[in-house]
Structure 1
Amino acid sequence: MDHVAPTSARAVESVVAGAPQRAGSFRFWFEGQRWEWSDEVAAVYGYAPGSTQPSTELLLAHKHPDDRALVARSIDAAVCAGEPFCGRHRVIDTSGRTHHVIVVADRMLDDRGLVVGTRGYLIDLSGALEENRQEVLDRTLPELVASRAVIEQAKGVLMVVYGINAEQAFRVLQWRSQETNVKLRTLAQRLVTEIPALGGGPASQRARFDHLLLTMHGDVVAAE
Structure 2
Amino acid sequence: MTERDEVSQSERTLVERVVGVGDPLTVGPFRYWFGTRRWEWSDEVARMHGRAPGTTPTTEMLLSHKHPDDRDRLEALICSVEDGAAFSSHHRIIDTCGRVREVLVVSEPMADEDGAVIGTQGYYIDLSSTAADFRREALDSTLPGLLDARVVIEQAKGALMLVYGVNADQAFGVLRWRSQETNVKLRTVAERVVAELPKVAVDDVKLRTRLDHILLTVHLGEPDPH
TM bin, normalised by shorter chain, reads 0.7 to 0.9
Stretches of structure 1 that go unaligned for 5 or more consecutive residues are 1-5
Task: Find the aligned partners of 2:49 and 2:210 in 1 and give their Cα distance.
Answer: 27
Amino acid corresponding to residue 201 of structure 2 in structure 1: G
* Counterpart in the other structure of 2:185: 183
Task: Find the aligned partners of 2:154 and 2:121 in 1 and give their Cα distance.
Answer: 28
Conserved 8 A contact 2:25-2:127: no
Amino acid corresponding to residue 64 of structure 2 in structure 1: A
Q: Deviations over 1:24-49 (max 9, x none)?
A: 10000011210000111011001221
Structure 1 residues 61 and 203: alpha-carbon distance in aligned structure 2, compared to 1, 3 A threshold: same
Conserved 8 A contact 1:87-1:162: yes
Structure 1 residues 199 and 120: alpha-carbon distance in aligned structure 2, compared to 1, 3 A threshold: same
Amino acid corresponding to residue 98 of structure 1 in structure 2: V
Stretches of structure 2 that go unaligned for 5 or more consecutive residues are 1-7
Conserved 8 A contact 2:46-2:52: yes
Task: Find the aligned partners of 1:131 and 1:209 in 2 and give their Cα distance.
Answer: 26
Q: Deviations over 1:169-200 (max 9, x none)?
A: 11111111121111112111111121011125
Are 1:89 and 2:91 counterparts? Answer: yes
Q: How many Å apart are 1:83 and its aligned residue?
A: 2.3
SS class of match (1:151)? helix
Q: How many Å apart are 1:21 and its aligned residue?
A: 3.2
Are 1:27 and 2:35 counterparts? Answer: no
Are 1:45 and 2:49 counterparts? Answer: yes
Amino acid corresponding to residue 48 of structure 1 in structure 2: A
Amino acid corresponding to residue 57 of structure 1 in structure 2: E
Task: Find the aligned partners of 2:37 and 2:164 in 1 and give their Cα distance.
Answer: 25
Task: Find the aligned partners of 1:220 and 1:113 in 2 and give their Cα distance.
Answer: 23
Number of residue pairs the alignment of both structures matches: 212
Q: How many Å apart are 1:139 and its aligned residue?
A: 6.9
Amino acid corresponding to residue 100 of structure 2 in structure 1: T
Conserved 8 A contact 1:91-1:98: yes
Q: How many Å apart are 1:76 and its aligned residue?
A: 1.2
Matched-pair identity in %: 51
TM-score, normalised to structure 2's length?
0.83
Aligned-residue Cα RMSD (Å) equals 2.7
TM-score, normalised to structure 1's length?
0.84
Conserved 8 A contact 1:7-1:141: no
Q: How many Å apart are 1:13 and its aligned residue?
A: 6.1
Conserved 8 A contact 2:25-2:173: no
